[in-house]
Amino acid sequence: MTDTLEQTISCNEPATAVDVLALATGLSKSKVKSAMTAGAVWIQKGTKTVRLRRAKSMLQSGEQISIYYSDKILSDTPIAPTLIVDNKNYSVWNKPVGLMSSGTRFGDHCAINRVVQKMLDRPVFLVHRLDKFVKGVMVLAHSKRCAAVLSKQFQDRTIKKIYKAIVTGKLDSPVQITESLDGKDANTRIAAIDHDDRYTLLQVEILTGRKHQIRRHLAGIGLPILGDRQYSDSRFPQLQLASVSLAFYCPNTGERVTFHLPKEDHPRLSDLRVTPD
């Protein structure tokens, strides 16, 4: 048995999911149950493919289930986010580095939506994302209505998203970057807050939400983020990028609200223990 397994199984006769998977894959029932709990097993339900978590779910003849098993992924332990505010229909969190926004086909136990669902015992609907290596403020919806209201604000670009980043290089004056990404418009505003002889602390506002927008835009103008190994050759151990504030219209009251990352979690030049970059 390899450490990673991807397999789709057709059920020949009624049986429990754990029995079908254990027999077809050679995995022990305890490993199958762990994989199911972690969200690594999928089943077709109508037009949707959904995670199947209950080991004793009965499968009927002709049904198909898929398992995406990885010892490495299942051995990961999620890092708990910190609650900033709970407004019942939505909650705001400080997402730590290392916690994903959503899962993959190999599981969702290390994703904030699943972690918060278990913490609050409430449905969770993602309305935006933060990269696994980015920390900071993130809002989650707990009803379909609230998710629709927040999603429309993101689409209408009425939500204000402020980040801080430490970059290699110097910025002399504020800049607005409008280079398109993946064929879509992208808009980023940056301004210097502090600097030393090698690095600059930036305030960054994104008016659009393209994949890795801040990292790609800053690298594209010669100001790569410290710790960004994907778009630069930085060897600093951690990406110096954080979502420090999020402002939107409260789905409950309609009032404009702003939530901030605690100051101690902001990137700061004084905190750098610089390794060769």
Catalytic residue among 131, 194, 196, 271: 131
Residue type, 69: Y
Q: Specify whether the CB–CB gap between 212 and 230 falls below 8 A.
A: yes
CA-to-CA distance for 161 and 128, rounded, in angstroms?
11
Strand partners, 58: 16
Q: Where do we find the tokens 């290699």? A: 168
CA-to-CA distance for 210 and 222, rounded, in angstroms?
19
Is 86 considered catalytic here? no
CA-to-CA distance for 97 and 130, rounded, in angstroms?
10
Helix 17-25 / helix 29-37 crossing angle, nearest 10 deg: 120
Q: State the catalytic residues.
A: 131
